[in-house]
Structure 1
């Protein structure tokens, strides 16, 4: 029997005065922190409130809050009460919240006081009680609950996928999944009580939850949080809190690189690990970051359905730019062809993962679960990848993002990598658009440096010098900034294809 609160409980007993959380409010001039004892006690008090509200073990509780200490208190309180936490994006609109309230059969919703009315209005529309989470309510005295021990296979969190096709699906993560994520993360980074981890990732996303929050608390270090990512604020956080571990997605590293006017490598001297995930890291960004700050970014790979873990570049080896490393501890990773056979090194196939962080299944969706999760525990990721002779994995692209132009496979990531090498291009996304002759045509949407006079023909020429003819973007659109999700990941599905199609026809 176990609880997701166990790592916090352990450190609250052994090192109660060690700092667990440094809140993002410190950026605004205050110096707020929570010790492990304070976090533990506040979590149990919050659990007491949930218990006294009449919720039962296994009831679902929606949580909408940014990356602040109060999110952690509520999250851990829900866990201690034996309920199932359902974190959602803080930018969710009312219809999106209503969908989750209905689909997950939510008993209680909790929303940060600075958010808009979406959760409150959705709760009113669906008859679900809504609590407002504030700095004061997270610290309120209440008779503490006794931690509810649960079986490792019990569902303890439901995280909804982005829903690139159809309605979002709720990935059921178990007590064992999240505890294993913390253990694997701490082992992979060699986390210890002296570590100071910092991030601007949203904790409602699995990267922030599994790879950062759970790993930090398992290792016993402190977690510095930015409520909302800002490149200058993140760089200030590195210096102020003397971070030893930092985690982010590629667009964050890119933003810091371009915002770092008064920062140099000396500010990163104490940083021993910079972790990138959530999307493939462009090699040019990695090389530029290392040259500027003398800091190597270690790339990893995982999904919501695998509690953020699959592969990671070992800290004991020289990181290979463009590769996400080998399977993390206690995990198996295979690249398979269409017939299910394991591919040889250098051959592209679909990535499969098996291990203790693989989800239980999709909430109330047995057919969707059966389509991706085999009886022997292998999860079908939907990602295309290949291994090198050393066994390191390179993610090529999403199966669904593959462009087939005139019968030739075009992997958008490969084209984007070339575009990022252009000195004027800051962001790039390559997508396929319908074409009567080729089936699909390659299109690129790019954001350039301020003041750049880069034109579409020059982008095409740049690609032509570096890529095979069928991979060259024939349609190029310029945009101020690409659409991004809550983690900073570029959302290709949100790109308006209308102008691209109009350009192609002209």
Structure 2
């Protein structure tokens, strides 16, 4: 069945139960009252600190948007892009697209205007739904995308080049549209990237979306009374597919706009959250705040919090040891996945296997895993490339048969590009990545994009960008820069030059040195990693010893 049927079921059986809550602590001068008490104060003022949506309201809003899309000529298989920060409208919009038979195309909110344009064109998107944070970027490209029929704006003071989502929705029926959807129909396109740094459009069927929901519930045993705290952005497969556990169980989810330890702990307490998915930096920040005394957890109700799990980047075993010292009753899990495998869960540690922290785990629910050599022959010992197979594997890279054939074989095996090995108990450990992607704070950074940008500086002869280990972010981007003879360049000048890059892509460390290349002209990044990653690990160890 298509993923939309879970929403319809919840709206039928749990009509008046809360499905989604949005918490926005960025509002200043919050008094010392509960979230709910403050939301009443804000409501009286016309504010929106805490908002919520029942399953019945969720279904009606999704139906209205589906009907709006149909009035604009959207047909089954057409593409509709979403460019929004996390908000109460995000998921009803996503499901409205699916109910119309269209394909949802979530976009990274960090994309520049040109990256947004590229993704809209690559995905053949006909409509874009966007929020106030993106007015300037969308206005910059709106007239340069002939295929884009309409732009719907979610928020107040709608710009002249878009239509108001909120106003138009009021005129649309809340009845489900008569669009027949099957498991094999296209459901969503998510963007990833290969070693070239150019985003690939990953196409998934409804069946893959449904399987991700089943995987989440099978791994973390969500029940109706579980409350999931969602902090990461919903455009990311990880956040949304973990939320699918709430969808399949009919439970409440809380969208928290902010990552402050105080906000996370307070939200868990007041919303009675039972499951929280964190990135490594956020978990470290919470522990630092508690251990320093900045946050006193004795004043909060946290006994219902049963599971903390982490994904999107390697997890230091020392972090989990610290976490269990503070929260000894918590179950813990880690999840491995990629957008091509509909996000997290094709490999997972398992809540019962905390003694194996450091491993990414064992095959997830409904998944098969193997490790292969350079000829894609399965190996039982040693390091090889990790391959996965299951109902959550992508249909293809949209409009890119060559790239699809490189990673997806005729038997349905997806070759991840990650190097791994098994221990004697069958647990899988990541060793390295074939790709040079840097994962910092759960976000992918593609070195070639930064390298190409830096090479436009007239003082730079050559540059290589690698990831260095970082205790908080997992990895940081480091730029090894070779300066042209007769020129000078300082770290400050490089940092100022990089201000034109999005913040998350700016190198965190600048190293002036020769860039080694092999006889064929390729940068020898393994050599650089051996030199500089070793230094970084030693520095981290010294820091731990000092503490």
Q: TM-score interval w.r.t. the shorter chain?
A: 0.7 to 0.9
1:17 matched to 2:52:
no
Aligned pair in 2 of structure 1 residues 162, 35: CA closer, same or farther (>3 Å)?
same
Give 1:433 shift.
8.0
1:93-242 paired onto structure 2 within 5 Å? 93-127=112-146, 128=148, 129-134=150-155, 137=165, 140=170, 142-144=172-174, 145-146=176-177, 148-210=179-241, 212-242=242-272
SS in 1 for 2:475: strand
Return the TM-score normalized by structure 1. Answer: 0.79
Q: Which runs of 5+ in 2 are unaligned?
A: 28-37, 40-49, 157-163, 439-465, 483-494, 516-530, 533-547
Aligned pair in 2 of structure 1 residues 392, 11: CA closer, same or farther (>3 Å)?
same
- Cα distance in 2, alignment partners of residues 94 and 87 from structure 1: 15
Q: Deviations over 1:386-437 (max 9, x none)?
A: 222222222222123499xxxxxxxx99x94xx74xxxxx45637898899x
- Cα distance in 2, alignment partners of residues 18 and 140 from structure 1: 23
Conserved 8 A contact 2:477-2:508: no
Conserved 8 A contact 2:280-2:315: yes
Conserved 8 A contact 1:264-1:293: no
- Cα distance in 2, alignment partners of residues 178 and 37 from structure 1: 22
- Cα distance in 2, alignment partners of residues 162 and 287 from structure 1: 33
Aligned pair in 2 of structure 1 residues 433, 24: CA closer, same or farther (>3 Å)?
closer
Give 1:173 shift.
1.2
1:284 matched to 2:318:
yes
Return the TM-score normalized by structure 2. Answer: 0.73
Conserved 8 A contact 1:60-1:84: yes
Give 1:186 shift.
1.1
Q: CA RMSD in A?
A: 3.1
- Cα distance in 1, alignment partners of residues 507 and 332 from structure 2: 28
Number of aligned residue pairs: 436
Conserved 8 A contact 2:64-2:173: yes
Give 1:271 shift.
1.5
Q: 1:400 is matched with which residue? A: 435
Q: 1:499 is matched with which residue? A: 511
Q: 1:336 is matched with which residue? A: 372
Give 1:37 shift.
0.9
Within the candidate set 103, 106, 118, 1:87 is matched to 106
Q: Deviations over 1:89-128 (max 9, x none)?
A: 1122111111112111111110013434212332233242
Q: Deviations over 1:228-270 (max 9, x none)?
A: 4333322221111111111122222122222332243875421
Give 1:55 shift.
0.9
- Cα distance in 2, alignment partners of residues 348 and 367 from structure 1: 26
Q: Which runs of 5+ in 1 are unaligned?
A: 404-411, 421-425, 437-478
1:48 matched to 2:94:
no
Q: 2:395 is matched with which residue? A: 360
- Cα distance in 1, alignment partners of residues 286 and 341 from structure 2: 28
Q: 2:279 is matched with which residue? A: 249
Conserved 8 A contact 1:119-1:130: no
